[in-house]
Structure 1
Amino acid sequence: MEIRWGLVPDMTGTQLLPELVGRDVAKELTYTGRVIDGTEAARLGLATRTETDPLDTALSLVREITGKNPHAVRHAKRLLELAGRMGVADGFAAEQTAIRDLIGSPNQVEAVRANLDSRTPAYRDPAPASSRSTA
Protein backbone atom coordinates (compact mmCIF):
# COMPACT_ATOMS: atom_id res chain seq x y z
CA MET A 1 0.00 0.00 0.00
CA GLU A 2 2.99 2.32 0.44
CA ILE A 3 3.06 3.11 -3.30
CA ARG A 4 -0.28 4.87 -2.86
CA TRP A 5 1.49 7.32 -0.55
CA GLY A 6 4.47 7.78 -2.83
CA LEU A 7 6.67 5.44 -0.79
CA VAL A 8 8.15 1.95 -1.03
CA PRO A 9 7.57 -0.91 1.42
CA ASP A 10 9.79 -0.73 4.48
CA MET A 11 10.55 -3.00 7.43
CA THR A 12 12.25 -5.42 4.96
CA GLY A 13 9.06 -5.68 2.87
CA THR A 14 10.99 -5.42 -0.39
CA GLN A 15 13.43 -8.04 0.85
CA LEU A 16 11.03 -10.65 2.21
CA LEU A 17 8.01 -10.34 -0.11
CA PRO A 18 9.78 -11.85 -3.16
CA GLU A 19 10.82 -14.81 -1.00
CA LEU A 20 7.19 -15.38 0.00
CA VAL A 21 5.33 -14.86 -3.27
CA GLY A 22 7.96 -14.81 -6.02
CA ARG A 23 9.61 -11.81 -7.61
CA ASP A 24 6.94 -11.20 -10.28
CA VAL A 25 4.02 -11.18 -7.81
CA ALA A 26 6.01 -9.05 -5.36
CA LYS A 27 6.64 -6.51 -8.10
CA GLU A 28 2.98 -6.40 -9.12
CA LEU A 29 1.73 -5.95 -5.57
CA THR A 30 4.41 -3.37 -4.75
CA TYR A 31 4.00 -1.32 -7.93
CA THR A 32 0.18 -1.29 -7.84
CA GLY A 33 -0.67 -1.29 -4.14
CA ARG A 34 -3.47 -3.71 -5.01
CA VAL A 35 -5.45 -4.96 -2.00
CA ILE A 36 -5.99 -8.71 -1.86
CA ASP A 37 -8.45 -10.77 0.18
CA GLY A 38 -7.64 -13.67 2.49
CA THR A 39 -8.30 -16.33 -0.13
CA GLU A 40 -5.83 -14.76 -2.56
CA ALA A 41 -3.35 -14.15 0.26
CA ALA A 42 -3.44 -17.88 1.05
CA ARG A 43 -3.10 -18.78 -2.63
CA LEU A 44 -0.05 -16.51 -2.93
CA GLY A 45 1.60 -17.80 0.23
CA LEU A 46 1.08 -14.68 2.34
CA ALA A 47 -1.31 -16.53 4.64
CA THR A 48 -1.27 -20.18 5.60
CA ARG A 49 -5.01 -20.68 5.07
CA THR A 50 -8.40 -19.13 5.66
CA GLU A 51 -10.79 -20.53 8.26
CA THR A 52 -14.41 -19.96 9.19
CA ASP A 53 -13.41 -20.00 12.88
CA PRO A 54 -9.84 -18.69 12.94
CA LEU A 55 -9.60 -18.47 16.73
CA ASP A 56 -10.62 -22.09 17.26
CA THR A 57 -8.26 -23.20 14.50
CA ALA A 58 -5.38 -21.18 15.97
CA LEU A 59 -5.97 -22.57 19.46
CA SER A 60 -6.08 -26.10 18.07
CA LEU A 61 -2.78 -25.51 16.28
CA VAL A 62 -1.24 -24.09 19.47
CA ARG A 63 -2.32 -27.19 21.41
CA GLU A 64 -0.83 -29.44 18.74
CA ILE A 65 2.52 -27.60 18.68
CA THR A 66 2.80 -27.33 22.47
CA GLY A 67 2.27 -31.09 22.64
CA LYS A 68 5.61 -31.63 20.90
CA ASN A 69 9.12 -31.67 22.36
CA PRO A 70 9.69 -27.98 23.15
CA HIS A 71 13.42 -28.25 22.49
CA ALA A 72 12.80 -29.78 19.05
CA VAL A 73 10.27 -27.05 18.25
CA ARG A 74 12.81 -24.36 19.21
CA HIS A 75 15.50 -25.95 17.06
CA ALA A 76 13.08 -26.33 14.14
CA LYS A 77 12.02 -22.70 14.46
CA ARG A 78 15.62 -21.50 14.42
CA LEU A 79 16.55 -23.74 11.47
CA LEU A 80 13.54 -22.71 9.40
CA GLU A 81 14.32 -19.05 10.03
CA LEU A 82 17.84 -19.65 8.70
CA ALA A 83 16.59 -21.37 5.53
CA GLY A 84 17.49 -19.33 2.46
CA ARG A 85 19.55 -16.94 4.54
CA MET A 86 22.67 -19.09 4.58
CA GLY A 87 24.26 -21.59 2.27
CA VAL A 88 22.91 -25.13 2.10
CA ALA A 89 26.13 -26.54 3.58
CA ASP A 90 25.88 -24.20 6.58
CA GLY A 91 22.20 -25.06 6.97
CA PHE A 92 23.03 -28.77 6.89
CA ALA A 93 25.71 -28.23 9.55
CA ALA A 94 23.19 -26.36 11.71
CA GLU A 95 20.75 -29.28 11.35
CA GLN A 96 23.42 -31.75 12.39
CA THR A 97 24.21 -29.66 15.47
CA ALA A 98 20.51 -29.61 16.39
CA ILE A 99 20.19 -33.37 15.89
CA ARG A 100 23.23 -34.00 18.11
CA ASP A 101 21.69 -31.77 20.78
CA LEU A 102 18.33 -33.56 20.61
CA ILE A 103 19.16 -37.26 20.16
CA GLY A 104 19.15 -39.03 23.49
CA SER A 105 17.99 -35.94 25.37
CA PRO A 106 15.35 -36.59 28.05
CA ASN A 107 12.55 -35.06 25.95
CA GLN A 108 13.55 -36.99 22.82
CA VAL A 109 13.59 -40.24 24.80
CA GLU A 110 10.17 -39.30 26.24
CA ALA A 111 8.85 -38.73 22.70
CA VAL A 112 9.93 -42.21 21.65
CA ARG A 113 8.57 -43.88 24.79
CA ALA A 114 5.25 -42.04 24.56
CA ASN A 115 4.85 -43.02 20.91
CA LEU A 116 5.66 -46.66 21.64
CA ASP A 117 3.27 -46.64 24.63
CA SER A 118 0.53 -44.83 22.65
CA ARG A 119 0.30 -42.12 25.29
CA THR A 120 0.66 -38.37 25.50
CA PRO A 121 4.26 -37.36 26.17
CA ALA A 122 5.11 -35.52 29.39
CA TYR A 123 7.88 -33.13 28.38
CA ARG A 124 10.00 -31.14 30.79
CA ASP A 125 10.81 -27.59 29.77
CA PRO A 126 12.74 -25.69 32.40
CA ALA A 127 12.93 -21.97 31.73
CA PRO A 128 16.13 -20.89 29.96
CA ALA A 129 18.68 -19.32 32.30
CA SER A 130 18.14 -15.89 30.72
CA SER A 131 14.48 -15.84 31.81
CA ARG A 132 15.01 -16.97 35.41
CA SER A 133 14.69 -14.46 38.21
CA THR A 134 17.95 -13.53 39.90
CA ALA A 135 16.25 -12.43 43.13
Structure 2
Amino acid sequence: MIRKLSVLMLSGMMIVLLAACNTTTYKHNYTFSGEGDVWSAEYVQKATEKFIDKKGERPDYETSQQSTFELKYKGEQTDLDKINSFKYSFKGTSGGGSNTLEDAKGVRKSELKSERSGSGAFEHEDSIIKVVVEWDGQKDEFELKVRK
Protein backbone atom coordinates (compact mmCIF):
# COMPACT_ATOMS: atom_id res chain seq x y z
CA MET A 1 0.00 0.00 0.00
CA ILE A 2 2.80 2.44 0.92
CA ARG A 3 4.60 1.53 -2.32
CA LYS A 4 1.50 2.31 -4.41
CA LEU A 5 1.11 5.62 -2.59
CA SER A 6 4.77 6.53 -3.23
CA VAL A 7 4.44 5.75 -6.95
CA LEU A 8 1.24 7.78 -7.15
CA MET A 9 2.84 10.78 -5.38
CA LEU A 10 5.94 10.61 -7.58
CA SER A 11 3.78 10.50 -10.71
CA GLY A 12 1.80 13.50 -9.48
CA MET A 13 4.96 15.53 -8.86
CA MET A 14 6.26 14.73 -12.35
CA ILE A 15 3.01 15.96 -13.91
CA VAL A 16 3.21 19.21 -11.91
CA LEU A 17 6.84 19.76 -13.00
CA LEU A 18 6.03 19.09 -16.65
CA ALA A 19 3.07 21.46 -16.56
CA ALA A 20 5.15 24.20 -14.94
CA CYS A 21 7.87 24.16 -17.62
CA ASN A 22 7.36 24.14 -21.40
CA THR A 23 10.30 23.87 -23.83
CA THR A 24 10.14 24.58 -27.55
CA THR A 25 13.16 23.72 -29.71
CA TYR A 26 13.77 24.98 -33.25
CA LYS A 27 16.46 23.57 -35.55
CA HIS A 28 18.27 25.75 -38.09
CA ASN A 29 20.28 23.26 -40.15
CA TYR A 30 21.31 24.83 -43.45
CA THR A 31 23.92 24.39 -46.16
CA PHE A 32 24.99 27.62 -47.86
CA SER A 33 26.88 27.25 -51.14
CA GLY A 34 28.19 29.37 -53.97
CA GLU A 35 31.06 29.86 -56.36
CA GLY A 36 33.17 32.45 -58.07
CA ASP A 37 35.32 32.18 -61.16
CA VAL A 38 38.15 30.24 -59.48
CA TRP A 39 36.88 29.18 -56.05
CA SER A 40 33.72 27.67 -54.56
CA ALA A 41 32.67 27.30 -50.94
CA GLU A 42 30.20 25.63 -48.66
CA TYR A 43 29.08 26.67 -45.18
CA VAL A 44 27.25 23.94 -43.24
CA GLN A 45 25.46 24.96 -40.05
CA LYS A 46 23.63 22.92 -37.42
CA ALA A 47 21.98 25.20 -34.88
CA THR A 48 19.32 24.81 -32.20
CA GLU A 49 17.30 27.46 -30.47
CA LYS A 50 15.45 26.61 -27.24
CA PHE A 51 12.75 28.66 -25.55
CA ILE A 52 12.06 27.49 -22.02
CA ASP A 53 8.86 28.93 -20.58
CA LYS A 54 8.67 28.59 -16.80
CA LYS A 55 5.30 29.56 -15.44
CA GLY A 56 5.60 32.54 -13.16
CA GLU A 57 9.25 33.14 -14.08
CA ARG A 58 11.14 34.91 -16.82
CA PRO A 59 11.54 32.59 -19.85
CA ASP A 60 15.00 31.24 -20.71
CA TYR A 61 16.53 31.29 -24.19
CA GLU A 62 19.43 29.08 -25.25
CA THR A 63 21.24 28.62 -28.55
CA SER A 64 23.96 26.30 -29.74
CA GLN A 65 25.57 25.90 -33.12
CA GLN A 66 28.24 24.02 -35.01
CA SER A 67 29.42 25.19 -38.41
CA THR A 68 31.99 24.27 -41.01
CA PHE A 69 33.28 26.54 -43.78
CA GLU A 70 35.13 24.85 -46.63
CA LEU A 71 36.77 26.55 -49.58
CA LYS A 72 37.49 24.58 -52.77
CA TYR A 73 39.78 25.41 -55.66
CA LYS A 74 38.11 24.77 -59.03
CA GLY A 75 41.36 24.29 -60.97
CA GLU A 76 44.06 21.65 -60.79
CA GLN A 77 44.90 20.80 -57.17
CA THR A 78 48.62 20.88 -58.01
CA ASP A 79 48.22 24.65 -58.63
CA LEU A 80 47.70 25.09 -54.87
CA ASP A 81 51.36 24.13 -54.37
CA LYS A 82 52.46 27.23 -56.33
CA ILE A 83 50.56 29.85 -54.28
CA ASN A 84 52.81 32.18 -52.27
CA SER A 85 50.38 34.58 -50.60
CA PHE A 86 46.84 33.56 -49.72
CA LYS A 87 43.97 35.04 -47.75
CA TYR A 88 40.28 34.28 -47.48
CA SER A 89 37.43 35.67 -45.43
CA PHE A 90 33.73 34.99 -45.09
CA LYS A 91 31.10 37.09 -43.33
CA GLY A 92 27.42 36.53 -42.68
CA THR A 93 24.91 38.18 -40.36
CA SER A 94 26.16 36.31 -37.30
CA GLY A 95 29.90 36.70 -37.83
CA GLY A 96 32.49 35.04 -39.98
CA GLY A 97 36.08 33.96 -40.19
CA SER A 98 39.31 34.35 -42.08
CA ASN A 99 42.70 32.80 -42.70
CA THR A 100 45.89 34.43 -43.98
CA LEU A 101 49.02 32.65 -45.14
CA GLU A 102 52.06 34.79 -45.87
CA ASP A 103 55.06 33.29 -47.66
CA ALA A 104 52.85 30.24 -48.01
CA LYS A 105 54.91 28.22 -50.50
CA GLY A 106 51.75 26.30 -51.26
CA VAL A 107 48.34 25.90 -49.69
CA ARG A 108 47.30 22.66 -48.02
CA LYS A 109 43.73 21.46 -48.25
CA SER A 110 43.42 21.53 -44.43
CA GLU A 111 44.03 25.30 -44.50
CA LEU A 112 40.89 25.77 -46.61
CA LYS A 113 38.56 24.54 -43.87
CA SER A 114 37.35 26.24 -40.71
CA GLU A 115 35.14 24.84 -37.93
CA ARG A 116 33.50 26.48 -34.95
CA SER A 117 30.93 25.69 -32.30
CA GLY A 118 29.38 27.40 -29.34
CA SER A 119 26.40 29.46 -28.36
CA GLY A 120 25.14 32.78 -29.61
CA ALA A 121 24.11 34.06 -33.02
CA PHE A 122 23.72 31.84 -36.07
CA GLU A 123 22.77 32.23 -39.72
CA HIS A 124 19.13 32.08 -40.78
CA GLU A 125 17.86 30.50 -43.99
CA ASP A 126 17.68 33.83 -45.86
CA SER A 127 21.18 34.95 -44.83
CA ILE A 128 23.84 35.72 -47.41
CA ILE A 129 27.48 34.94 -46.63
CA LYS A 130 30.04 37.02 -48.53
CA VAL A 131 33.32 35.30 -49.42
CA VAL A 132 36.55 37.01 -50.57
CA VAL A 133 39.61 35.00 -51.66
CA GLU A 134 42.91 36.73 -52.50
CA TRP A 135 46.03 34.91 -53.73
CA ASP A 136 49.18 36.09 -55.50
CA GLY A 137 47.63 39.40 -56.61
CA GLN A 138 44.33 37.85 -57.76
CA LYS A 139 40.89 38.15 -56.17
CA ASP A 140 37.64 36.17 -56.33
CA GLU A 141 34.45 37.37 -54.58
CA PHE A 142 31.12 35.55 -54.37
CA GLU A 143 28.12 34.86 -52.13
CA LEU A 144 26.86 31.76 -50.39
CA LYS A 145 23.10 31.15 -50.17
CA VAL A 146 20.81 28.34 -49.18
CA ARG A 147 19.75 26.56 -52.36
CA LYS A 148 16.03 25.79 -52.29
- TM-score category of the 2 structures, normalised to the smaller one: under 0.3
TM, length-normalised to structure 2: 0.21
Q: Which structure has greater helix proportion?
A: 1
Q: Which structure has greater strand proportion?
A: 2
Q: Which structure has the bigger radius of gyration?
A: 2
TM, length-normalised to structure 1: 0.22
